[in-house]
Structure 1
Amino acid sequence: MAERLKRFIAIIKKRRTPIGIIVLLAAAVGLAAFLWGDKASASDYITARVERGTVEVNVAATGTVQAVTTVQVGSQVSGTVQWLGADFNSQVKRGQVVARLDPAIFQAQVDNARANVTNAQAAVQAAETEIINQKANLQAIKANLEVTRVQREDALALVKRYQDLKNVLSGRDLEAAQAQANAAVARYEQAAAQVAQVQSAGATAKAKLDQAKASVSQAKAQLQQSQLNLDHSIIASPIDGVVVSRNVDVGQTVAASLSAPTLFTIANDLTKMQVLASIDEADVGQIRQGIKASFSVDAYPGETFSGEISQLRLNAQTAQNVVTYSAVIDVANTAMKLRPGMTANITIPVAKRDNVLTVPNAALRFKPNLSEKEQEALRQKMEQRRQEREAQRQAGGTQEGQPAATPQDQQGQQPAPQSAQQPAGQPGDTAQSGGGGQRQRGQGGQGSGGGQRQQGNSNQSAPASGGGDSGGQRRQGQMIWVLTGTKTIEPRFVRAGLTNGRVTEVMGGDIHEGDIVIIGQNETGNSNRQPAATPFGQRPPGAGGGGGGRPPGR
């Protein structure tokens, strides 16, 4: 074929016509397309190096800075503010008077209650005097009762004597004696009735005394209540601290009919603060008491504050169908930079791995576009490696550091037909690309993705694949593509571990530090190559999966 090409060029040179030049160029382009159009060079791939580093998974949350102890000072009585003894940012001590209400009404109530007490005490004295009088009357009546009893007995004895002497005495004398006896008996009965009446009056006097004493107690209680209202018109600070807010002015009327109005808000000690963080229910399982946390506030950009989680509350908060749990973070505020009410952007580290092999998440999502010849070559190579591993297992187990065979290797599965494959760039690709939130597009020669344009990139940690758990762990075997020293690509199986959404820990597999992994594929030189199924039954991504060029139709 080379000899024919030389003859053809010689003929064109002899004629030296424009048509010949055009034909020559067309032939050269066609020959180049025939020889190299079905091969992908190493420059078509975007690569990164396998390195050792630290993988840290963080939970992001927001919260509010607040004092450890905050007291709202209110008024228990209604009235008009007459005097204020504290203002914003005022330092106050416990028991210090911070406000006074107009005491005129309360003082009048105290005076009225005191008069009622005096009146009730006078009633008690009157009741006691009445009891003494009734006791004296009772004694007099009892003496009179005794006199009438003697007279009755004497009159009855006289009647009996006259009856014995009725033959001597006249009937008139006997009748007179009988009448006197009857009168004596009547006087005795009258005296007895008077004794009962005086005793009843004495009991009534005692009841009046008890009633008067109860009135005294009631009047004293009313006096005490009026005195308390008068005392509550003087408002004092319940704690040592600083006034955070003042809600009233002199002359303002406060009404405490239903609830106590808040006059001041006092924070106990601003050198010790708390951050009340709202933790999403998806992350709360990773949070525990004693974890260190860091946060920043908008007032001091670039500065980070640290604290420790002291409490994870069980009470759930639901807002717009989002369930969160409150975590309390204790923070030292010796520099007095933090102020109550600041919004804190919180980062809570929940897992960390130091000095581990890491690969970019884009490498785990990458799937190359292979021609049928390349697929066949890779299929044969993987079949050979499967047979070697099978022989090693039969000889006594897998050698240390050798990756476990995948289900495709063990069963020798053939790739699914192209018609059954999902076309590149479809939404279903997200199941393979993972939850890192970083779907790359339009990469062109970057190393490890530092200058790559990404969509949905988030600082929050997330699993790099759909199979990872909430802690950023990726335990299942995954396949990555490595650029070998001969500038060819081959798949390697790895066991992924912790991920922070950008890089993933490699816990095992056929990969080493310094290996070159592929994270994307340029569109240049591949536009004429149709996406084809890989030799492992995996659907082809559009233009290099999550780390390559723009998917078809974009």
Structure 2
Amino acid sequence: MWSRAMSKKGKIIIVLGIILILIILVVVNIKRSTGGTIKVQVGKVKRGDITQVVSGSGRVQPEVQVKISANVSGKIVKLHVKEGEQVKKGQILVELDRTRYEAAVDQAKSNLKSAKASLKKARSEYRRFQELYEKNLCSLADLESAEASLLLAESNVEQAEASLKQAADDLSKTTLISPIDGTVTKLNKEEGEIALGSMFQEDVIMIVADLSKMEVVTEIDENDVVLVSLGDKAKIEVDAIPDTIFEGRVSEIAHTATTRGMGTAEEVTNFEVKVAIEGGAQQLRPGMSATVDIETETHRNVLHIPIQCVTMRMPKAEMERPSVKKYQKTNKGKTSNQEGKNAGNQPDEETDKPKPERKLIQVVFVAENGFARMVPVETGISNDTDIEIISGLKEGQQVITGSYKALSKLLKDGSKIKVSKAAKFRKETEK
């Protein structure tokens, strides 16, 4: 009984082993049959419009904004506006303490009055000495002295008049008025605080801006700014107002670069670009974050493909000839080779020449009957997703769009390919 059970168990083990071996052989054969096949995704060459876009981020600000500062120092005795209030051109905004400046005007008036009195006396003295000199009753020196006193008195009057004018001007500057129609967007001072009034140190009391005309100030990379021109259309997205796209145009392009991290690995060189927002700016507020897409160039009714399709490869001819020497021998044929043998140990001038640089070219892999065909292409402008094809492809052709590894490394001219199921589904939906 025991031997029969063992015999039965052994048969089962043998059968299972055979089945396992068969399964392994089938799997190995499947892998061998598909081992050289590369899974890819495909798309079609399409015809349509493509727009080249340069993007940047920045902040919204008014096109016109004026910083209101005092030209003379003094205590703020009256603020006539509040932050957010609309103002008109010529409207009084701030009044400073006038006491010191009124006193200066009074002093200047008094000095002018005294100078005029001295001038009147000097003129009288000069006329008297003229009469005496004509009668030979005084010397020429006395007359010249009287004339000098008259000239000095006239100069003192002019100086006093200038001092009065300066004092009156300083007094007028104690009242600050709005230079534009707009809105008080920022108020930095309160009544009782001191306005410094220095011409060399900015002491902003408030900012008045025209909020009816807004712009976005952004920075564009030095490699992209050369593509941007004045008047280019732009689409603007503001973080605070989602699902709304504002239209704009490039109004200013800086000629001087802004460099950050100079001398470090993170050095960045940008150029400031201003984009004027066209209409619908009532919702916007200064300081809002925004993203700008500047449309630098548009090509209509052109062939285009997904941008990832374009990759770099050696030209077919270069791939077939690994060296210049081999290329030369192939072209020269047997006669050339025989001549080389007869030359003995003589130096080969052709092989001594430096090898030319192998230049990579732009190519696209086209899917045809289960194989990848490498096609050199000439490209035009591009956007974030697509690139223009000037030559090399035809509308409707299937091009390989992925994977990244296949496009960048695996694919070669003539590679066997298999379109993935996801790609097939996309192809069916496109139809």
Query: Among residues 6, 19, 36, which one is paired with 2:30 in the alignment?
Result: 36
Task: Write out aligned runs for 1:350-429 (5 A).
Answer: 350-353=296-299, 356-364=302-310, 407-409=315-317, 413=320
Query: Among residues 332, 350, 355, which one is paired with 2:278 in the alignment?
Result: 332
Which residue does 2:240 correspond to in 1? 299
Which residue does 2:400 correspond to in 1? 517
Say whether 1:348 aligns with 2:348: no
Q: CA deviation at 1:274?
A: 2.0
Q: CA deviation at 1:326?
A: 1.8
Report how many residues are paired: 366
Say whether 1:57 aligns with 2:3: no
Distance 1:88 1:110 in 2: 33
Which residue does 2:170 correspond to in 1? 229
Residues 22 and 131 of structure 1: CA distance in aligned 2, closer, same or farther (over 3 Å): same
Which residue does 2:205 correspond to in 1? 263
Say whether 1:78 aligns with 2:79: no
Aligned-partner SS, 2:176: strand
Distance 1:355 1:310 in 2: 29
Which residue does 1:18 correspond to in 2? 12
Residues 352 and 42 of structure 1: CA distance in aligned 2, closer, same or farther (over 3 Å): farther
**What is the CA RMSD across the aligned residues, in angstroms?**
3.7
1:330 partner letter = A
Computing the radius of gyration from Cα coordinates, the structure with the larger value is: 1
Q: CA deviation at 1:259?
A: 3.2
Aligned-partner SS, 1:94: coil
Distance 1:279 1:79 in 2: 43
Q: CA deviation at 1:90?
A: 2.0
Task: Write out aligned runs for 1:113-192 (5 A).
Answer: 113-135=108-130, 137-138=132-133, 142=135
Which residue does 1:421 correspond to in 2? none
Distance 1:255 1:229 in 2: 14
Distance 2:401 2:290 in 1: 39
Distance 2:202 2:30 in 1: 86
* Percent of residue pairs bearing the same amino acid type: 25
Q: CA deviation at 1:514?
A: 5.8
Say whether 1:205 aligns with 2:146: yes
Residues 137 and 492 of structure 1: CA distance in aligned 2, closer, same or farther (over 3 Å): closer
Distance 1:506 1:105 in 2: 76
The question of whether the paired residues in 2 share the 8 Å contact of 1:58 and 1:350 is answered with yes
Distance 1:46 1:532 in 2: 10
Distance 1:210 1:510 in 2: 94
Q: CA deviation at 1:412?
A: 7.8
Higher relative contact order (CA 8 A, sep 6+): 2
Aligned-partner SS, 1:225: helix
Which residue does 1:214 correspond to in 2? 155
Distance 2:158 2:319 in 1: 100
Which residue does 2:367 correspond to in 1? 482
The question of whether the paired residues in 1 share the 8 Å contact of 2:132 and 2:138 is answered with no
Aligned-partner SS, 2:147: helix
TM-score, scaled relative to structure 2: 0.73
**Unpaired segments of 5 or more residues in structure 2?**
1-7, 262-266, 324-358, 424-431
Which residue does 1:253 correspond to in 2? 194
TM-score, scaled relative to structure 1: 0.58
**Unpaired segments of 5 or more residues in structure 1?**
1-13, 143-194, 368-405, 417-466, 469-475, 524-530, 539-543, 548-554
2:125 partner letter = E
Q: CA deviation at 1:501?
A: 4.9
The question of whether the paired residues in 2 share the 8 Å contact of 1:294 and 1:307 is answered with yes
Distance 1:70 1:521 in 2: 50
List per-residue Cα deviations over 1:394-442 (Å, max 9, x = no partner): xxxxxxxxxxxx8425x781789xxxxxxxxxxxxxxxxxxxxxxxxxx
2:268 partner letter = V
The question of whether the paired residues in 2 share the 8 Å contact of 1:76 and 1:260 is answered with no
Q: CA deviation at 1:196?
A: 5.9
Aligned-partner SS, 2:211: coil
Distance 1:121 1:111 in 2: 15
Aligned-partner SS, 2:18: helix
Distance 1:492 1:80 in 2: 79
The question of whether the paired residues in 1 share the 8 Å contact of 2:378 and 2:391 is answered with yes
Aligned-partner SS, 1:88: coil
Aligned-partner SS, 2:33: coil
Residues 116 and 29 of structure 1: CA distance in aligned 2, closer, same or farther (over 3 Å): same
The question of whether the paired residues in 1 share the 8 Å contact of 2:374 and 2:413 is answered with no
Distance 1:113 1:290 in 2: 55
Residues 95 and 501 of structure 1: CA distance in aligned 2, closer, same or farther (over 3 Å): closer
Which residue does 2:332 correspond to in 1? none
The question of whether the paired residues in 2 share the 8 Å contact of 1:359 and 1:506 is answered with yes
List per-residue Cα deviations over 1:376-411 (Å, max 9, x = no partner): xxxxxxxxxxxxxxxxxxxxxxxxxxxxxx8425x7
Task: Write out aligned runs for 1:482-501 (5 A).
Answer: 482=367, 484=369, 488-495=370-377, 497=379, 498-501=381-384
Distance 1:64 1:124 in 2: 63
Query: Among residues 64, 83, 90, which one is paired with 1:88 in the alignment?
Result: 83
Residues 307 and 24 of structure 1: CA distance in aligned 2, closer, same or farther (over 3 Å): same
Which residue does 1:310 correspond to in 2? 251
Distance 1:501 1:334 in 2: 27
